């Protein structure tokens, strides 16, 4: 009670590792696992501990008061702590849970790509660059399905201003966590827009609305002579 009253900021709190949890639970001698939740990977609430289990536990039961709204997506992160209260700061154990319109577990989709950009090379082609970081823990639904990424689909507008999401201009095979690059022939002058979506083996895409826009030029730029000899 004393540690809880003073939010863990007591002598015993420092010894038993309750400082990091504001005094709400005791760390086990061998450490523990802690569960958190958020509406996005960038919005996980690490100030609110949902559940604590032994370090070797294979399952975590979440509190019954947690609501799962229909049509929402939740991100759960599990972090380990040692007996001194030191908690890891990684996202290695993360799970994405999708709730369908009926309030049940829905079909999951791969994560969104990040760092999307485009540039024009000397060969006149447009190089699309992005980074993809999958969840370390694939979510297995009750039906046994998993939503692991299988490929990246590149969509374009062909200069019309409206991206055609029905017909990808290129498909890049998934090769794990890495920076992906792919060149597309758009040497004619114009303004082009591109989008990249990750898809699983069944063709389910993540539905990302991120786009990148680039203005290309078919004219080659001559080098400027700064120093000359006469």
pLDDT digit string, tens, across residues 109-134: 777 788 899 988 777 789 999 988 77
pTM for the model stands at 0.55
Greater pLDDT, 92 or 183: 183
Q: Cα–Cα distances in Å, from 34 out to 12, 15, 64, 101?
A: 21, 19, 16, 29
Domains of the chain by start residue, with CATH: 2-98 (2.60.40), 114-216 (2.60.40.10)
Q: Is the pLDDT of residue 106 over 80?
A: no
Tokens of 210: 């991120």
| Residue 176 falls in which region: left (phi positive, over 0), alpha (psi -120 to 50) or beta | left
Q: What percent of the chain has pLDDT over 90?
A: 19
Q: Is the pLDDT of residue 154 over 90?
A: yes
Give pLDDT, residue 140.
44
Give pLDDT, residue 20.
58
């Amino acid at each position: 009670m004393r540690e809880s009253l003073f939010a863990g900021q007591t002598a015993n709190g420092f010894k038993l590792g309750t400082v990091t949890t504001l005094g709400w639970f005791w760390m086990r001698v061998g450490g523990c696992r802690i569960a958190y939740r958020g509406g996005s990977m960038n919005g996980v609430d690490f100030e609110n501990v949902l559940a604590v289990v032994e370090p070797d536990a294979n399952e975590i039961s979440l509190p019954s008061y947690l609501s799962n709204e229909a049509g929402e997506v939740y991100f759960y992160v599990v972090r380990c702590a040692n007996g001194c209260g030191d908690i890891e700061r990684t996202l290695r154990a993360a799970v994405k849970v999708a709730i369908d319109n009926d309030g049940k577990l829905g079909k999951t989709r791969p994560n969104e790509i990040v760092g999307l950009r485009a540039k024009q090379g000397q060969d006149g082609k447009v190089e699309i660059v992005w980074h993809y970081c999958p969840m370390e823990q694939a979510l297995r639904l009750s039906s046994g399905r998993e939503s692991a990424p299988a490929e990246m689909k590149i969509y374009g507008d062909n200069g019309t201003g409206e991206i055609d999401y029905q017909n990808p201009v290129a498909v890049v095979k998934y090769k794990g966590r890495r920076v992906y690059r792919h060149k597309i022939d758009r040497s004619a002058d114009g303004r082009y827009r591109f989008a990249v979506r990750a898809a699983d083996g069944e063709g389910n895409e993540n539905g990302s609305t991120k786009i990148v826009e680039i203005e290309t030029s078919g004219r080659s730029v001559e080098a400027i002579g700064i120093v000359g000899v006469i």
